[in-house]
Amino acid sequence: MRPGPPEERKDKRIDVALPVFLENATGVTRDVSASGVFLWISGMYAYGESISFSMGRKTESGKFMLKCRGDIVRTEWRDDTVGVAVRLIKTAMEPMPSHLSATDALRSAREQPRNINQRWDKALASAIETVDRWSSLLRDKALEAFKQRRGETTLKWDFPSIAVATNPHSRRVTVCSVTVVCLFPKASLALGRSGIRGGIYGDLNLSRAFGEIDARESASEAGVSEESDFVNWKEPDDGRIAGIELATYVANASHGDRQRGTAPLARVVVRATSVRYDGYHQEIEENHYRQKSYSDPTEAFEVFLALVRESSILIRPDMQRYEE
């Protein structure tokens, strides 16, 4: 569901189910008023889009068709149908052709799946284009914030290249990540790390590794492909205590979403991860995180920047990684 601005309901609404005819789909009204109408229809429709449709009405003078044009001010999803609240711009009453309710409805029903798929593909392309545009915009804003806070030693900024950042499966792009660190007064801990390298997993960053690197040859036993190795190594604690990530992605982009007719949407996600030290395994855990998605990139960036600011203020230079 994508809510729009609050609707200004000046006219009384009447709950009534009237048949609705669009160019390539059919539907039914939930309620109508002099200035607007709410429709349940099959297809792909988004907030802000213009829409034209006709409603069948029966009066004492006979059957009529009310032709309408308006703007979508709100959408709701219910199973395989979308509900749209329409602010009417223009209406005109015409006699209803006798063949419309049967022949045209049947034609619309036959053409509906193909047209829904076409609209879904178009919505996906639009969402991908929006994600690309937002990614560029947010990266510029993050780079500007980095320049202003460059002197803060507790923050480590990272801006992955587009080739590295883009995940083709989820279409997720990591725009910027900030690692919150603390310089501990004692010597760095030796952390145990592990990972998979080779094959579809690519290379591991072992630049900070020290001592012997243990690569398991029988990688298939670890649940990975034969071309890959399961690797264990040690590296010094770099002081990480939290991470904040800003990313863009396309929601509702799976094959299941396409079949259900759920509209793909551009989104921005802000994720905050806490890092804690596991003394028993001598490693750090980054499994605990909270995240929230936004449809407004400006709002998402403000939240991201607020988290970065708060993190830099709350860090104490004498923090201990673990208790004595």
For the record, the structure tokens of 24 come out as 């390539």
> Are 176 and 53 members of one domain?
no
Q: Which has the minimum average pLDDT: 149-153, 159-163, 275-279?
A: 275-279
> Are 304 and 198 members of one domain?
no
| E runs forming strands in 99-228 | 155-158, 166-167, 172-181, 190-197, 210-216
pLDDT tens digits for range 139-153: 999 999 999 988 787
Residue 8 lies in a domain: no
Residue 168 lies in a domain: yes
> Are 245 and 174 members of one domain?
yes
What is the number of other CB atoms lying within 10 angstroms of the CB of residue 56? Answer: 16
Q: Mark 119-156 as b/e (b = at least 16 C-beta within 10 Å).
A: bbeebbebbeebbbebbeebbebbeebbeebeebebbe
Asked if 86 and 71 touch (Cβ cutoff 8 Å), the reply is yes
Asked if 258 and 120 touch (Cβ cutoff 8 Å), the reply is yes
Is residue 301 within a helix (H) or strand (E), and if so which, with residue range?
helix 297-314
DSSP class per residue in 6-56 = PP---S--EE---EEE-SS-EEEEEEE-SSEEEEEESS---TT-EEEEEEE
Positive/negative CA dihedral, 205, 211, 217, 223: negative
| CATH code (residue 34) | 2.40.10.220
- Please give the pLDDT value at position 176: 93
Position 299 pLDDT exceeds 90: yes
Spatial neighbors of 224 by CB under 8 A, at least 6 apart, are: 196, 199, 201, 230
Taking CA 314 as the corner, what is the angle to CA 310 and CA 320, rounded to the nearest 5 degrees? 145
Radius of gyration in angstroms for the set of CA atoms belonging to the chain, rounded to a whole number? 28
Look-up of token digits 């997993």: 201
| E runs forming strands in 107-252 | 155-158, 166-167, 172-181, 190-197, 210-216, 229-236, 240-251
Q: Cα 95 from chain centroid? A: 45
Residue 76 lies in a domain: yes
> Are 182 and 260 members of one domain?
yes
pLDDT tens digits for range 70-96: 998 888 776 667 788 999 999 888 876
Task: Report the amino acid identity of residue 113.
Answer: P
pTM for the predicted model, two decimal places:
0.55
Q: Which has the minimum average pLDDT: 102-106, 234-238, 255-259?
A: 102-106
Look-up of token digits 């801990």: 189
Nearest to 73 by CA among 93, 89, 57: 89
> Are 30 and 152 members of one domain?
no
For the record, the structure tokens of 132 come out as 């690309």
Share of the chain above pLDDT 70, in %: 71
> Are 175 and 287 members of one domain?
yes
Look-up of token digits 């080739």: 163
- Please give the pLDDT value at position 80: 61
pLDDT tens digits for range 97-142: 654 544 454 455 444 445 556 777 878 888 888 888 999 999 999 9
What's the number of domains the chain is made of?
A: 3
Residue 109 lies in a domain: no
Asked if 179 and 197 touch (Cβ cutoff 8 Å), the reply is no
> Are 247 and 229 members of one domain?
no
> Are 173 and 310 members of one domain?
yes
Residue 7 lies in a domain: no
